[in-house]
Structure 1
Amino acid sequence: MLDRIRIVLVQTFHPGNIGASARAMKTMGLSDLVLVAPRQFPDEEATRLAAGAADLIEGCRVVDSLSAAIGDCVQVIGASARLRSLPLPCYHQPDQMAAELWRRLPEGPVAIVFGRERYGLTNEEIGHCTHQLNIPANPDYGVLNLSQAVQIVAYEAFRHSRIQGEAQQMPKANGPYPTMEQLDHFYAHLHRALDSAGFLTQPHARTEAHLRALFTRAEPSRKELSILRGVLNALESSSRDG
């Protein structure tokens, strides 16, 4: 199951951090690395700091957007040092995160997303996640290097895999969960329905962002998401007939 855990690095500035993150991953049995618009890659510094994990560097995927990196994932966890104005469900302990994601892996890949070295993930990027992760650290100096953060997460995933054992894991009772691509289709459908009904009249109210956070916290299953889209279809049909 460890091969279903995806590490996503967004716009990494220093190539060496990519290599060091790959090394941290391989040490703990993770192998799925995706880079979103890195500043400079491929690069000799990335390969050098990867040491024995050069195969992860050579085999990683490079994509242009976060959406392209996470579309097939059933859970997306954004690592962030600060909570946002529209808080998603948040793991305040990496071991808690590992236990939860392990229950989802039978349904599909789970992505853990890390932002830029200087300022992390944007609010828009956090909005593409289903959960946040906050790694506790010294409140007077809670600064983690990118590869150090990846190492902590990778270690907790590996440790949990040894404690639980892959054969004993079962999906959550209300699964299976939709992929991020399926959720994006739902949000696009929701936008069309709300817009045609004249509901989106105050852009400053961030109505859609609040609704997105609501559905993220609710964690609808694929069946429940299908029911919601059926409701939207019925409302759109009723509006046209009226």
Structure 2
Amino acid sequence: MLSNIRIVLVQTYHPGNIGASARAMKTMGLTDLVLVNPRRFPDPEAMRLAAGAEDLVERARVVGSLAEAVADCVQVVGASARLRSLPLPHFDEPDAMARKLVEHAASDPVALVFGRERFGLTNDEIRLCSHQVSIPANPDYGILNLSQAVQVLAYEVFTAWRRRPHSDYRPTLPAEQRPPTREQLNHFHDHLERVMQVSGFLTQPHAHTASQLQTLFARAQPSRKELSLLRGLLASLESYLPEGER
């Protein structure tokens, strides 16, 4: 289960924070580290601060975008010190987030995403997440170092996994009942926007209709079967459009 829980670091500036984050992960049994466009990597400083977790640093995958890092994940939680303008579902308490993340990780990959040291995740990156989480801290000084934030949330995840009672075992859900991956959701939203445009539903080029609908479906959290049903509905509607507009 813990092997299905991925830590994603986006554009890390200091390579030492990569090593320190790997150390934080290893103490909590997490092994899947993905780096999105790190400023310097590989780097001796990352290995030095890993302090026993060098194997995680060596195995870390480097990718070109956050979308690529989380494409196969069914739940993606963005760690943010403050709420952004996009009203994604938000976990007020990290332990509630951890319990839900562990539940999904029983059968599918999930991810915890951490942004840049100086300004965190952008709104576009938050849009690639399904949920947000913040770490409660002193309102007068709530600044955590990147690796500290990884340690806190990794601890919550490990605790949720450790406290999961044996009697709470559930058989693996059938594929159609599982949450869709981010890639499947992206295909659905592309399909929806295409149908809205060619049908004439989107008439104002600067309207935020597509973003509002993305937020709606993020709250609804449809299963793979439900998403397939929606794709079928869109395909049926497309069949009634003029041949050149499909």
TM-score between the two structures when normalised by the length of structure 2: 0.94
8 Å contact kept, 1:104–1:172? no
Partner of 1:9: 9
8 Å contact kept, 1:35–1:63? yes
Mapping 1:36-185, distance limit 5 Å = 36-165=36-165, 168-170=168-170, 175-185=177-187
Q: AA paired with 1:42?
A: P
More divergent stretch after superposition (160-169 vs 17-26): 160-169
Which sections of structure 1, spanning at least 5 residues, go unmatched?
Answer: none
| Cα distance in 1 for residues equivalent to 2:21 and 2:130 | 23
Q: Secondary structure at the match of 1:205?
A: coil
Q: CA distance change for structure 1 residues 14 and 166 in 2, over 3 Å: closer, same or farther?
A: farther
Is residue 2:219 matched to residue 1:217?
Answer: yes
Pick one of 196, 199, 216 that aligns with 1:197: 199
Q: Secondary structure at the match of 1:132?
A: strand
| Cα distance in 2 for residues equivalent to 1:204 and 1:112 | 32
Q: Secondary structure at the match of 2:178?
A: coil
Is residue 2:238 matched to residue 1:233?
Answer: no
8 Å contact kept, 1:107–1:177? no
Which sections of structure 2, spanning at least 5 residues, go unmatched?
Answer: none
Give the paired residue count: 242
Displacement of 1:84 in angstroms is: 1.8
- Aligned-pair identity in percent equals 63
Q: CA distance change for structure 1 residues 169 and 130 in 2, over 3 Å: closer, same or farther?
A: farther
Q: AA paired with 1:154?
A: A
Q: CA distance change for structure 1 residues 3 and 225 in 2, over 3 Å: closer, same or farther?
A: same
Displacement of 1:162 in angstroms is: 1.1
Displacement of 1:165 in angstroms is: 4.5
Q: Secondary structure at the match of 1:138?
A: coil
Displacement of 1:202 in angstroms is: 2.1
Displacement of 1:239 in angstroms is: 1.9
Displacement of 1:161 in angstroms is: 1.2
Displacement of 1:59 in angstroms is: 0.2
| Cα distance in 2 for residues equivalent to 1:84 and 1:208 | 17
| Cα distance in 1 for residues equivalent to 2:48 and 2:201 | 54
Displacement of 1:238 in angstroms is: 1.4
Q: AA paired with 1:83?
A: L
8 Å contact kept, 2:13–2:38? yes
More helix by share: 1
Q: CA distance change for structure 1 residues 76 and 168 in 2, over 3 Å: closer, same or farther?
A: same
Displacement of 1:167 in angstroms is: 7.4
Displacement of 1:169 in angstroms is: 4.0
Runs of 4+ in 1 over 6 A off after TM superposition: 171-174
